[in-house]
Amino acid sequence: MLEQTTKMNLLYDFYGSLLTEKQQSLLELYYLEDWSLSEIAEHQGTSRQAVFEAIKRAQATLTDLENKLSLVTKHRTRQELIAELRSQLDADANVRAVAEPIITKLLEID
């Protein structure tokens, strides 16, 4: 469950603004605030099943966006390459001093 929560939070960070306000609210309550389906249903004045289905649809939308745009995948790849580059540069402090501002600029692009 923790892995699913982490994945959904990351997808939400990238694509959450593309969801409806209601979907955003549901995902925030469920994943960020850690509310149960029953708590959300009571808060929304609806059934637990309706909340479950709405969250599933929002999850599917986030997953579909990632499948089409791959922003999270590209972000993770960039992060891995930057970590590898930093590791290689640790051997040479002079080169690291020159490369570090470039790495910082690359990170700001995200």
CA distances for 73 relative to 44, 68, 83, angstroms: 34, 11, 15
**Structure token digits, residue 107:** 């990170």
What's the pLDDT at 46?
96
pLDDT per residue of the chain (110 residues) written in tens, 0 to 9: 778 899 999 999 999 999 999 999 999 999 999 999 999 999 999 999 999 999 999 999 999 999 999 999 998 988 888 888 878 777 777 777 778 888 888 778 75
Q: Torsions phi, psi of 63, nearest 5?
A: -65, -40
What's the pLDDT at 82?
83
What's the pLDDT at 83?
85
Cβ–Cβ < 8 Å for 74, 109: no
Round to whole Å and give the CA distance between 25 and 40: 10
**Structure token digits, residue 90:** 């640790």
Q: Torsions phi, psi of 47, nearest 5?
A: -85, 160
What's the pLDDT at 103?
80
For residue 31, give the DSSP letter: I
